[in-house]
Amino acid sequence: MKTAKLLSILAFLFSVIAIGQPRFNQKKEQIKALKIAYITDELKLTPDEATKFWPLFNAYEEKQKNFRKGRIRSYLDQNESGDIDKMTEKEAIAVLNEIENSEEDAFQNRKKFVASLKGILPATKILKLKKAEEGFNKKLLKQFKDKVGKE
């Protein structure tokens, strides 16, 4: 069920991207700026902390984005070639292995990121970061749902 929702959201996003690529990039930058402000405020980063934190965070997010793209691409490549019900057991296992490897890589990236933060931020701020990321994502999703509900 989650996969169906994910594919629906992805299909919607791809159609929006195709129609409004320049506008999408502008919105993407706006969202990034809002996220920076939100996290900075939630963590109450000092200027020194922010200077050290943001390059690490941006590099971490870029790697995570690449892992997500890899998982999605792998799934879509398999799905485009035919229905999942038509896959052989061997093909399905190969796709599952690719997804698991990508998820493991993303997890290891998160561990390295948190380890690198320990020299920059107190543990309480690292915990607040996870909460702030989730809070921002919930806020963004709520705004999206509200906007879609009005249309």
> pLDDT per residue over 83-106, tens digit each?
777 778 998 888 888 888 888 999
User: pTM of the full predicted structure?
Assistant: 0.70
Structure tokens, 77: 């490549």
**Rounded to an integer, what distance in angstroms lies between the CA atom of residue 148 and that of residue 63?**
30
For 26-81, what is each residue's pLDDT tens digit?
Answer: 888 999 999 999 999 999 999 999 999 999 999 999 999 888 887 666 666 655 65
> Residue 72 class from Cβ within 10 Å (0-12 exposed, 13-18 middle, 19+ buried)?
middle
